[in-house]
Amino acid sequence: MDFRHSARVDALRGQLLAFFETHIYPNEHRFAEEVEANTQAGKRWTPTAVIEELKPEAKAAGLWNLFLPESEHGAGLSNVEYAPLAEIMGRVPWASEVFNCSAPDTGNMEVLARYATPAQQAQWLTPLLDGSIRSAFAMTEPDVASSDGTNIALRIERDGDNYLLDGHKWWTSGAGDPRCALYIVLGRSNPDHPPHQQHSVVLVPAGTPGLKVGRPLPVFGFDDAPHGHCEVTFDGVRVPAENLLLGEGRGFEMMQGRLGPGRIHHCMRLIGVAERALELMCRRLLGRVAFGKPVAKQGVWEERIADARCRIDQARWLTLHAAWKMDQAGNKAARGDIGAVKIVVPQMACDIIDMAMQAFGGAGLADQVPLAAFFMQARALRIADGPDEVHRQALAKLELARYLPPREHRIA
């Protein structure tokens, strides 16, 4: 058993931390100001100059496409090697895109790398890897309980050499971005198949007639501009049959493959969020005086700081082990481990951000520190990619299965 990062990862961590000191932290205010200025100028949904300027720097530094395991594309890092880098990227909400490591593009690239034909890869994967286009992933629907994937109802019908898509999606992340060129869409193509073989995935180019991007949904009061999570309607959207991915009825198979890495990537970043919230909290408590002494020395704060440290460290080891197991045994064998990470990390992050807010008082609710934005992100992940409740049910089933058929245990 060895809890050390590899030398390569240590080096990359060092580079990435240095990049943050030089390029990311100093630009946090600028990002906010640029979005605000764009908004005032009537172009709220515009990519920021700051991110675009930093991308070449990141590429030049070799900090690009760090996320793709087992692939000739990307940096050739395994999941357990990517985890500590993703954690660092999580410390600033908009930073991942600088390194071409932001959702939903990472998951979409992973799908394309695994399941797309060479032609599909040439058309979509190459520019995504290059960062010259963005993409969206359209799965969740407002009209059904999407936590049960078999409910997904968008119709995909074969019509000669085409597929016709009709349905209503929402929470389609990245759809607000004008650079979004590709929608990866899950729908029901074969309603007569068994429940887990009814769905397919189709590639829909942005701008296809009938595809309409609606309003960006707020999370709490945030619209996450210029990224956005949008409603998208498909009204007789027609695409060539070769835009089908992998095969009819194989949507679930691919979704399981896509969602596992996507979930754990979000959680890796959230560990960085939690660490930063704890850092902000400690600095605030040390620097603020009430009732005659630093708040850090008062009341419940030491208790909370210790609990925060215990919870972050536990969540990190759980996550690193799950990533390692994905590398060793595959995403399917690690699905319980990934599920545990998905259950643990967002709630942990929410709780620590909540503590930090309380330490900041009113300032913690507003926008000078990123705590409210952090909370929005962490809270949303208790629902996105499957709500806590569904992941707990799945994990419990795995646990109970170890003891079937029921028999009384020794002693009991």
Name which of 262, 306, 254, 318 is nearest 281 in CA terms: 306
Q: Which is nearer to its own copies, 77 or 109 (CB)?
A: 77
**Interacting residue with its own copies among 41, 60, 119, 412 (CB under 8 A):** 412
**Interacting residue with its own copies among 134, 263, 265, 379 (CB under 8 A):** 379
CA distances from 66 to 11, 75, 96, 244, 309 (A): 13, 5, 10, 27, 27
Contact 199, 188 (CB under 8 A): yes
Closest contact distance (angstroms) between CB of 156 and its own copies is: 22
Judged by CB under 8 A, the number of residues near its own copies is: 109
Q: Which is nearer to its own copies, 11 or 366 (CB)?
A: 366
Closest contact distance (angstroms) between CB of 170 and its own copies is: 7
Residues 15-74 that bind its own copies (CB under 8 A): 25-26, 28-29
Binding of its own copies at residue 255 (CB under 8 A)? Answer: no
Binding of its own copies at residue 293 (CB under 8 A)? Answer: no
Question: Which amino acid, 406?
Answer: P
Q: What does the alpha-carbon distance between residue 186 and residue 113 come to, in Å, rounded to a whole number?
A: 17
Residues 89-148 that bind its own copies (CB under 8 A): 140, 142, 145-148
Q: Which is nearer to its own copies, 209 or 402 (CB)?
A: 402
The DSSP-derived string for 144-180 is S-TTSGGG---EEEEETTEEEEEEEEEEEETTT-TTE
Q: Which is nearer to its own copies, 63 or 315 (CB)?
A: 315
Binding of its own copies at residue 207 (CB under 8 A)? Answer: no
- Give strand ranges (E) for 174-311: 180-188, 199-205, 211-216, 229-240, 244-245, 289-290, 293-294
What is the maximum span of the chain, computed from C-alpha positions, in angstroms? 78
Closest contact distance (angstroms) between CB of 207 and its own copies is: 26
Q: Which is nearer to its own copies, 9 or 203 (CB)?
A: 9
Give the list of residues 6+ apart from residue 130 with CB closer than 8 angstroms, or none.
none
Closest contact distance (angstroms) between CB of 214 and its own copies is: 12
Q: What does the alpha-carbon distance between residue 61 and residue 19 come to, in Å, rounded to a whole number?
A: 9
**Interacting residue with its own copies among 124, 137, 234, 301 (CB under 8 A):** 301
Q: Which is nearer to its own copies, 134 or 391 (CB)?
A: 391
The DSSP-derived string for 178-211 is TTEEEEEEEEES-TTS-GGGSEEEEEEETT-TTE
Residue matched to tokens 């060895």: 2
Closest contact distance (angstroms) between CB of 132 and its own copies is: 30
Mask 306-325, x = binds its own copies (CB under 8 A)? xxxxx--xxx-xx-xx--xx
Binding of its own copies at residue 333 (CB under 8 A)? Answer: no
Stretch that binds its own copies, among 51-59, 99-107, 183-191, 381-389 (CB under 8 A): 381-389
Contact 304, 284 (CB under 8 A): no
Residues 162-201 that bind its own copies (CB under 8 A): 170-171
Question: Which amino acid, 219?
Answer: V
- Give strand ranges (E) for 76-149: 134-138
Stretch that binds its own copies, among 11-19, 156-164, 177-185, 281-289 (CB under 8 A): 281-289
Buried b (16+ CB within 10 A) or exposed e, 187-213: bbbeeeeeeebbbbbbbbebeeeebeb
Q: What does the alpha-carbon distance between residue 203 and residue 240 come to, in Å, rounded to a whole number?
A: 9
Name which of 241, 248, 245 is nearest 125 in CA terms: 245
Cα 7 versus chain centre, distance: 27
Binding of its own copies at residue 77 (CB under 8 A)? Answer: no
Closest contact distance (angstroms) between CB of 242 and its own copies is: 32
Binding of its own copies at residue 271 (CB under 8 A)? Answer: no
The SS3 call for residue 134 is strand
**Interacting residue with its own copies among 10, 52, 235, 367 (CB under 8 A):** 367
Binding of its own copies at residue 256 (CB under 8 A)? Answer: no
Closest contact distance (angstroms) between CB of 49 and its own copies is: 19
Closest contact distance (angstroms) between CB of 186 and its own copies is: 15
Binding of its own copies at residue 264 (CB under 8 A)? Answer: no
